[in-house]
Structure 1
């Protein structure tokens, strides 16, 4: 059968071209060249967490259009695969991953670190399933040049982590996932051992366990490289090339491995190429697995120039022969030589060598390199062999056990340094050490002081071995700073010198003996040695009350002393206070609700230690009658001491009228014009006094009818032709004083 002839017209050719272009663009969009990455979930506070995606991207071969500005993480319940929320993570940083040794940088290997991050709420009312949860981001595609998986350009990556419920047994269960592995930008050399520390850190101090896993592919593919949301589990894995698998991910002798508890990655690759690998880090709390984090990454293997490892020789102390790790043990004594010599070289030309140490079975003070730690060999002007010295601390004490330390020399070869290691076994006894010594000028003891006294003495501290010393001050049963005691100190030569000072305060309790502790502490070999001395200070305080005397007249009973004076005179008195304890005395005088000067009063004190005097003077005047009544002045003697006992006197001052005679008005008169007793008049009326002046007189008959009135204190009433009988009078002064009486008219 003949095949129909297909004729392509111009429009048909155009449609075919557009189809081919669209297919090519779709493949280009899918080829994102993802290197690897991992998810991270960190607790913040309350129910708030931060979820982060670290994505590593091939900066040379990757499609710039695939540098996403955001990616979506989906969170599911493990037991049911129920979707709980989708969270859009915005791109927060875009940086390059640095090489361990920048000198080994290869232009064919450049990696970007893309970080997507956002805060997310995980409330206990929702995230309480005992089976836990998982978070997922799906994205395609991997590098086309990967050599250990099938169709790498079509393979996606599933970023995956697991985390527990945020509440357990009704209580908050806080957990952050482990932050694992620094990003890897280094390459490996075929035939050389490649190693890298992928160990992580956990904020909750959970135990971490590492293992190799097959990377996850998931549901993303070139047709749907960036799903709107991730699909629930299970997730498909990538397909290994024949002969490879989870425990044989990179061709090598040995193949790729990772330390179960150390996270140290090792492989000696036997083929060049680009190889993807997967690692899982599980976290355990109290023996129970509570979460995991997966990371996918890739390792590039290159043919590298030949690099012969450097060589290290450790020479025995005071002997020319080399240390033999399988036979020798250094036994370091307190007063013997504690240093060994090191000779190291490299057969390669122009090699820069670096020394380092790794303690194997101990922690604490490490030996130190007493001379060089690095240098150049086999270069023009450089030696063929370098010499250094390793010295063990005088404080190092192995307590009879054998410790091991690796002395390492490394070159600057690529991709990673070649090394030579000598493991040195040793025992060490520390140098004997004496305790610090304290001397003071405090003498004799106990020191004796009164409140207000300043107690001072000097302190000097020395150490037999001139170890660093700290000097502290404390109180027995009290805080030294709380009572105002201070210790100032400084260093003079190999001494610590200080001065103690204490202004003795007033006692607030019955405590009279204060014991101050001076503690000198040295820490030789990280072992505390202390010397303590006690300085007792006896506070002497027994207060006797002061006495107050004056030439005021003695008071009768408990009533105040009363001083009366008429206008035109004055009163003066002297007061004296004495104190047997010679405390500072102060005499004061104060009017009760009035000002002394306004009342014509003054007080001049002379205060001092143990004695105080004062002179009081009063000049009565009419203005004082308008002030508060009565005029009472309080004289007070105060002492400056811890528990003062005051003394006081209260004196009342009164302005007396000049009228000291008894007012006896007549009670009868005879208005019969015989010239004798014809008028009712009061020649002995109380005189006018300040604001008390005569106002008027009114006279009334027996029925209360007013029959006479006058405003003149010199009045004369002739009876006004009133019938004989009794009449009543009322005399009023301007200060409201009243005088009442009766008078009889006799005819």
Structure 2
């Protein structure tokens, strides 16, 4: 019995503790939120949970320092991991119009965020994955769902595999839904832009969905980890559904492409709603994000729509513009302004003006004379007026432009607007093209010039409309700068421009011959380039060249094609001299050179030219040496060049050779008797060997026995071997020269 009483006592204490926890759980007042997944680098992503918290009625004890999410595989619902997200931001959500702030509505924006890795070898399922987070509880006064105080929330996001087709598949979820802190007024149209952006450029589609309840409850308001899908939805109140989430006419809806949320509420209260944003790439859905949120509807002070009239240019008393029926015409002249008049029945209304281009660039819209002002304020008139003036150059080029002129008041919760769509055309002032002419035209065309001449032509550009005019130079088939031509002394100004075509003709102009320079006068009225007709200035470059003549005291060369050059032969140390002369009928500057494959001075050659206009001369001297012999065949090219645009050099090639001394027949003796009788006592070869010549010189002689033993050696060309100390018999000799030649033979030593 004591044991049973103890059990009941502990059970009652546990029930009491749970009852104490219930108010805190019911007081969390989570307004809504959404998940976000953004690619960072490599396999790293940043996952974030944004929660919107009721800052008026919420229990501060329910501001969690962290949030736990779960990542699951779609289809199988297999859990891959849980992850705690720390709280990183805690800010207030501002109203669209701060002046409309009410004390009963204030929202905090809580962001929980961290980085996580999605390895390619793990997150590669074709069906993709989803992230979920569960939390309780909602505001107890929500009027469109059943059992609101006990309803939980599940925040949900789908994302694709990070590798597809064997390649990395990078994707960031849509960053949607600007935070909403506004309220709606009973019977008034409420609108808000929930449209978002996608970092990958994917297509976004929006629709209304039923918010998810999930598994969180007052008994377990913050599960240790979210459960896998499926997640039970909230239960709508009688008469409401996914397509009719709150009382309204029209009911709450969202544009599938723009994300614009609209409703005209017909009942006061607090209403929860759900929006889904799906992303598509190449027509295939790859992910989705859901936002769970709520909207407060209150009774607002009456606010009437401001009114606006637009009048076109012209004298006073012009009738008002009729949208859809009239087209205003802005003609050239001083009056290109629209008159705008704004009224508002509400006292002390502050109006603002906005202009939106419909079918032309917004950058072309002028700024009105006023953009905002007070109606019926102290000392203020009942009507605001503004002018919208288009610049003189504004030109629609025959098209009908449309411009929305929007006036908005500062009413709550959202401003009322009146929009007038103005259709209009605009013409730019008429303009004449500029003209260009030569101040003093040459008497002859084309202009004739030679290399070295200076061609100058004075030019004048005029514009009857006094637009700033300039002169421009081009060439037909060439660029003037490539031949050294340019415009000098250029002056540009309103209605008048002057310049001088200046060209010092040089060799760059010879190949083309005829040069046609094109001159235009250019003006830029209303940022539209206009040019005159093309003025052509032809210049023909006259050029001719006669080849110079080269003569010399060298023996005449054969004129036959392919004939060998003249050869000059000298013995070593011999001297040869010659003279060369050059003339040129064009009196061009002449130069004379001599060149060979080696340094001339090293080969014993000297060349001394003297040059000048139309005439050149040179002396040549050669003293034959061994360097010349080593370089054979030694061809020297003598060149006479005329310094002109298209030179015609003249050349003479002469070959120089060094005579070699005659080589005697090699008939060496093959026997000698070293008996001292004065007859055939020595072995010698001096008179039988080739003579020494430059690098071809006697290097030495060696005599060997039949067993290879050296018995005699000498470096002297005039050696004499007496055979002393050797036995009679056959011996072998070898004579070497410095150029590698060798002479071998045998000699017999006879007995004494």
User: TM-score under structure 1 normalisation?
Assistant: 0.66
**1:560-583 CA deviation, whole Å, 9 max, x = no partner?**
54264875x966545456677888
2:594 to 589, 593, 613: 589
Q: State the match for 1:340 in structure 2.
A: 338
Aligned equivalent of 1:418: 416
2:155 aligns with one of 155, 159, 163: 159
Q: Which 5+ residue runs of structure 2 have no aligned equivalent?
A: 665-685, 702-710, 720-734, 743-752
Of 628, 634, 637, the residue aligned with 2:636 is 634
Q: Would the aligned equivalents of 1:29 and 1:66 in 2 still touch at CA under 8 Å?
A: no
Counterpart contact for 1:28–1:63, Cα < 8 Å = no
* Corresponding residue of 1:83: 78
Which residue in the other structure is 1:246 paired with?
A: 242
User: How do 1:279-298 and structure 2 match up within 5 A?
Assistant: 279-282=275-278, 292-298=288-294
Alpha carbons of structure 1 residues 45 and 472: separation in structure 2 relative to 1, 3 Å: farther
CA distance in 1, matches of 2:611, 2:49: 83
Q: Secondary structure at the match of 2:564?
A: coil
1:323 aligned to which of 320, 324, 333: 320
Q: Is the 8 A contact 1:435 1:531 kept in 2?
A: no
Matched, 1:314 2:310: yes
State which drifts further: 385-394 or 599-608: 599-608
Q: Closer, same or farther in 2 for the Cα pair 1:225/1:422, shift >3 Å? A: same
2-structure distance, mates of 1:125, 1:479: 63
Deviation at 1:268, TM superposition (A): 3.8
Structure 1 counterpart of 2:108: 111
Contact 1:434/1:463 (CA < 8 Å) preserved in 2? no
Candidates 210, 214, 218, aligned match of 2:206: 210
Structure 1's 528 and 73: CA in aligned 2 closer, same or farther, altered over 3 A? farther
Alignment map for 1:334-733 (pairs within 5 Å):
334-335=331-332, 337-346=335-344, 351-359=349-357, 362-364=359-361, 367-380=365-378, 382-391=380-389, 394-396=394-396, 399=399, 405-424=403-422, 426-428=423-425, 430-431=427-428, 439=436, 492-493=492-493, 548-554=550-556, 558-559=564-565, 561-562=567-568, 564=570, 573-575=578-580, 587-592=592-597, 594-599=598-603, 601-605=605-609, 614-618=618-622, 628-630=630-632, 632=634, 634-635=636-637, 637=639, 648-652=651-655
Would you say the 8 A contact 2:34–2:50 is kept in 1? yes
Which of these residues, 205, 230, 234, is aligned with residue 234 of structure 1? 230
> Contact (CA 8 Å) 2:26, 2:140: kept in 1 or not?
no
Q: Residue in 1 aligned with 2:725?
A: none
Distance in 2 separating the partners of 1:51 and 1:500: 70
Determine the C-alpha separation between the residues in 1 that align with 2:454 and 2:52. 71
RMSD: 6.6
Q: Deviations over 1:191-214 (max 9, x none)?
A: 543221223345676665433222
1:651–1:325 distance in 2 versus 1, CA, 3 Å: same
CA contact (8 A) 1:451 1:506 kept: no
Separation in structure 2 between the aligned mates of residue 41 and residue 503 of structure 1, nearest angstrom: 70
Contact 2:450 2:505 (C-alpha < 8 Å) held by counterparts: no
Distance in 1 of aligned mates of 2:79 and 2:503: 69
For residue 368 of structure 1, give the secondary structure of its aligned residue in structure 2: coil
Deviation, 1:184, is: 1.8
Aligned residues of 2:79 and 2:228 also touching (Cα < 8 A): no
Could you tell which deviates more after superposition, 291-300 or 444-453?
444-453
Kindly indicate whether the alpha-carbon contact (under 8 Å) linking 1:395 and 1:524 is maintained by their aligned counterparts in 2.
Answer: no
Alpha-carbon spacing, 1:737–1:21, altered in 2? closer, same or farther (3 Å):
closer
Measure, in 1, the Cα distance between the counterparts of 2:18 and 2:265: 40
Distance 1:333 1:68, change over 3 A: same
Deviation of 1:248 after TM superposition, in Å, equals 4.0
1:246 Cα deviation after fit: 3.0
Corresponding residue pairs, total: 684
Q: Give 1:265 deviation, angstroms.
A: 1.8
SS at match of 1:111: strand
**Contact 1:72–1:228 (8 Å) recurs in 2:** no
CA distance in 2, matches of 1:89, 1:448: 89
**Rounded Cα–Cα distance in structure 2 between residues aligned with 1:493 and 1:618:** 72
Per-residue deviation, 1:277: 1.6
Structure 1, unmatched stretches of 5+, are 663-681, 698-705, 716-730, 739-747
Structure 1 match to 2:729:
none
Hey, what does 1:74 align to over in structure 2? 71
1:56 & 1:450 partners in 2: Cα distance? 87
Residues in 2 aligned to 1:215 and 1:379: alpha-carbon distance in whole angstroms: 46
State the Cα distance separating 1:323 from its structure 2 match: 1.9
Distance in 2 between the 1:541 and 1:40 partners? Answer: 79
Match of 1:94 in 2: 89
Query: Could you tell me how far apart the structure 1 residues matched to 2:37 and 2:452 are?
Result: 63
| 1:356 Cα deviation from its structure 2 partner | 0.9
- CA distance in 2 between partners of 1:177 and 1:45 (Å): 15
Q: Tell which deviates more after alignment, 575-584 or 264-273.
A: 575-584
CA distance in 2, matches of 1:473, 1:109: 70
